[in-house]
Amino acid sequence: MREREVVLAARGVAKSFGGVEVLHDVDFEVREGEIHALVGENGAGKTTLLMVLCGVHAPDRGATELAGREVRFRGPADAQVRGVRTVFQELSLVPALSVAENLYLNRAPAGPFGILDRRRLREEARRVLGRLGADLDPDALVQDLSRSRRQIVEVAKALAAEARVLLLDEPTSSLSEAEAEVLFQVLRQLKGEGLGIVVVTHRMAEVFAIADRITVLRDGRVAGRFERREATPDEVVRRMVGRDVSQVTWQERGAPGPVALEAEDLWALPRVRGATLAVRQGEILGVAGLEGSGRTELGLALVGAIPVQRGRLRVFGREVRVASPAHAARLGVVCLPPDRKELGLFPQLTVADNIVAMILRLLSRLGILPKAAVRDTGEAYRERLRIRCPSVLAPVSALSGGNQQKSLLARLLAADPKVIVADDPTVGVDTGAKAEIHRILVEEARRGKAVVLISSELVELLELADRVAVMRDGRVAGVLERPHLTEETIVRLAAAG
Ligand SMILES: Nc1ncnc2c1ncn2[C@@H]1O[C@H](COP(=O)(O)OP(=O)(O)OP(=O)(O)O)[C@@H](O)[C@H]1O
Ligand SMILES: [Mg+2]
């Protein structure tokens, strides 16, 4: 078989931000008809490399090559015209527009007289969605779609433009395993059509499920290249972090304390319909459920982030009406929301300022010199969560996605809450940091905090949770306790009915 052609490559690429070099002489290539996984810890330079490859950043040194020829993209639009399409960590869809309109944003097929041809728009959209095997209505508004469906629209949007290369930055971070599999099916199909595909992901199982080749970035350098068939996950992770990573495994802790947070027949329409659960001090209560089961919305309802129509909420036995997440925080209940876009970081503020955002008033009330206290608190959490940043006084917007996520977790912990509601707290964080966050949640539980861990990853629940409440159709269908807590019992309870 002839060697497949390299469609897109970086040759000796270096890139700096504000005098700090974050990519050093990186060589990387993707061939036609292959899926190439790009992996590495948070801040390793994966997103930056993709941005160079798609013309958002110009390299400081080195070059990019398209089909064997050196190319200087004049910007992302230029790269797009030449068939290099990107799906970034942050989705770029317009919620108020339909699926079809999003697919052809800026390039809507015009009829005679240049008037938008709606019928053609819809037909074109249907054709692209059909190619993906995606069962999506072109007329549906994007705002009405689940996160996972938006992700598929995002890929379809890239395809609508006749791509030769597809660059995907953490496309599955908000998808369940089943939904990710749907996306992979689409990617395999496209690979069969000859597209070169680069996928950035932190999930090792995914890498080994879809990639033909693997490139490991570490501190802005290529630290390993593998043919997938010749590699093992352990080997790849070791190249990523430079050490062995030991996973947290569940261990019996002392008997939990009194009930800290309790929901009784809670309704938050449309997704939460009569959910009842209770979490005790010193306990990690897992919440499982399929996408659409209401698991995410239950978390939001617990902290007043979405309106509750009916039911009771009790914090340490006292009935409360939670008006907003800020109100919940004053009651000692904090929430790590699922959506990066709603993370609520203040991009222009420093890492340290973001970390102390919830306790600023407390610090100043205690008469503590804010500046030094802010920096010290920031430093303490930077170390504890291994947040990778040039300085805690750097703007949080300069951090990589995973490190921004860790900064938000730091903010919650700094507030010293009694109850932590965390929705997929390790989505988008690297293998090492994931183990770190797991250890921190266990530590918080051991210190007497009540932890509600909502997760799309069964393994995560099995490793951490003392009990797991399984959501189905907006209610808690059952609570599984050890030793009856297994992958199989969770799945069966989540899908039954
Ligand atoms: N616009 C920017 N300004 C300043 N620094 C930046 C900028 N973009 C990225 N960096 C820095 O470059 C480094 C690499 O970041 P990058 O986003 O490429 O990492 P990543 O591998 O994608 O990480 P993650 O897994 O967390 O998404 C980080 O240290 C980050 O702080
Ligand atoms: Mg990134």
Query: Is residue 455 within 8 Å of residue 288, measured between CB atoms?
Result: yes
In a domain, residue 251? The reply is no
Are 326 and 221 within one domain?
Answer: no
In a domain, residue 250? The reply is no
* Ligand 1: nearest atom to the Cα of 49: 18
Q: Is 193 exposed, middle or buried (0-12, 13-18, 19+ CB in 10 A)?
A: exposed
Are 212 and 334 within one domain?
Answer: no
Are 156 and 278 within one domain?
Answer: no
Are 432 and 349 within one domain?
Answer: yes
Look at residues 390, 427, 425 and name the one whose alpha carbon lies nearest to residue 180: 427
Mean pLDDT of 88-98: 77
DSSP 3-state of 289: strand
* Ligand 1: nearest atom to the Cα of 170: 27
Ligand 2 mean position, distance from CA 25 (Å) = 19
The residues, any chain, with a CB within 8 Å of residue 280's CB and separated by 6 or more, are 256, 257, 258, 259, 260, 450
What's the total number of domains in the chain? Answer: 2
Alpha helices in 160-255 (DSSP H): 177-192, 204-210, 233-241
Tokens 């007329």 identify what position?
A: 139
- Going by alpha carbons, the residue nearest to atom 4 of ligand 1 is 398
Question: Ligand 1 in contact with 287 (CB < 6 A)?
Answer: no
Q: What is the crossing angle of helices 233-241 and 431-446, to 10°?
A: 80
Query: Is residue 70 within 8 Å of residue 12, measured between CB atoms?
Result: no
In a domain, residue 248? The reply is no
Instruction: Give one DSSP letter per residue of 294-360, joined into a string.
Output: SHHHHHHHHTTSS---EEEEEETTEEE---SHHHHHHTTEEEE-S-GGG----TTSBHHHHHTTTTH
> What whole-number distance in Å separates Cα of residue 497 and Cα of residue 346?
43
Residue finishing a domain among 209, 241, 273: 241
Question: Ligand 1 in contact with 354 (CB < 6 A)?
Answer: no
In a domain, residue 171? The reply is yes
Instruction: Give one DSSP letter per residue of 348-414, joined into a string.
Output: TSBHHHHHTTTTHHHHHHTT--HHHHHHHHHHHHHHHTT---S-TTSBGGGS-HHHHHHHHHHHHHH
Residue 411 maps to which CATH number? 3.40.50.300
Ligand 2 mean position, distance from CA 400 (Å) = 5
Query: Is residue 141 within 8 Å of residue 153, measured between CB atoms?
Result: no
Give pLDDT, residue 257.
Answer: 94
Kindly report the CA angle at 370 between 451 and 358, in degrees rounded to 5? 25
Q: What is the crossing angle of helices 177-192 and 147-159, to 10°?
A: 10
Ligand 2 mean position, distance from CA 242 (Å) = 19
Alpha helices in 231-316 (DSSP H): 233-241, 295-302
Question: Ligand 1 in contact with 404 (CB < 6 A)?
Answer: no
Are 271 and 407 within one domain?
Answer: yes
DSSP 3-state of 168: strand
Are 336 and 485 within one domain?
Answer: yes
Starting from the edge strand earliest in sequence, which strands make up the sheet with 20-31, in order? 20-31, 6-17, 61-66, 69-71
Question: Ligand 1 in contact with 47 (CB < 6 A)?
Answer: yes
In a domain, residue 62? The reply is yes
Ligand 2 mean position, distance from CA 174 (Å) = 14
Band (pLDDT 50/70/90 cuts) for residue 82 is very high
Residue 88 scores a pLDDT above 60:
yes
Question: Ligand 1 in contact with 441 (CB < 6 A)?
Answer: no
Ligand 2 mean position, distance from CA 203 (Å) = 13
Using a CB cutoff of 5 Å, list residues around ligand 2, an ion: 47, 401
Count of beta carbons in the 10 Å neighbourhood of residue 496: 10
Ligand 2 mean position, distance from CA 405 (Å) = 11
- Going by alpha carbons, the residue nearest to atom 29 of ligand 1 is 43
Give pLDDT, residue 91.
Answer: 64
The residues, any chain, with a CB within 8 Å of residue 130's CB and separated by 6 or more, are none
The residues, any chain, with a CB within 8 Å of residue 362's CB and separated by 6 or more, are none
Give pLDDT, residue 288.
Answer: 96
Residue 275 scores a pLDDT above 70:
yes
> What whole-number distance in Å separates Cα of residue 191 and Cα of residue 193?
5
Give pLDDT, residue 344.
Answer: 75
Are 480 and 414 within one domain?
Answer: yes
Helix (H) or strand (E) holding 143: none
- Domain holding 342, by residue range, is 259-495
pTM of the model: 0.74
Question: Ligand 1 in contact with 425 (CB < 6 A)?
Answer: no
- Region of poorest pLDDT, from 377-386, 399-408, 412-421, 471-480: 399-408
Give pLDDT, residue 400.
Answer: 84
Residue finishing a domain among 241, 268, 287: 241
Residues 395-447: tens digit of each pLDDT: 998 888 888 888 988 999 998 999 999 999 988 788 888 888 898 899 999 99
Which residues pair with residue 38 across a beta bridge? 200, 215
In a domain, residue 336? The reply is yes
Structure tokens at 146: 């689940």
Query: Is residue 253 within 8 Å of residue 294, measured between CB atoms?
Result: no
Starting from the edge strand earliest in sequence, which strands make up the sheet with 84-87, in order? 84-87, 165-169, 196-200, 35-39, 213-218, 221-227
What's the one-letter identity of residue 197? I
- Going by alpha carbons, the residue nearest to atom 16 of ligand 1 is 45
Ligand 1 mean position, distance from CA 173 (Å) = 17
Ligand 2 mean position, distance from CA 193 (Å) = 27
> What whole-number distance in Å separates Cα of residue 60 and Cα of residue 24?
10
Question: Ligand 1 in contact with 22 (CB < 6 A)?
Answer: yes
Mean pLDDT of 337-365: 77
Question: Ligand 1 in contact with 433 (CB < 6 A)?
Answer: no
Question: Ligand 1 in contact with 203 (CB < 6 A)?
Answer: no
Residues 23-74: tens digit of each pLDDT: 999 999 999 999 999 999 888 999 999 999 999 999 999 999 999 999 999 9
Are 22 and 125 within one domain?
Answer: yes
Measured CA to CA in angstroms, residue 267 lies from 104, 235, 312, 369 at distances of 38, 47, 9, 44
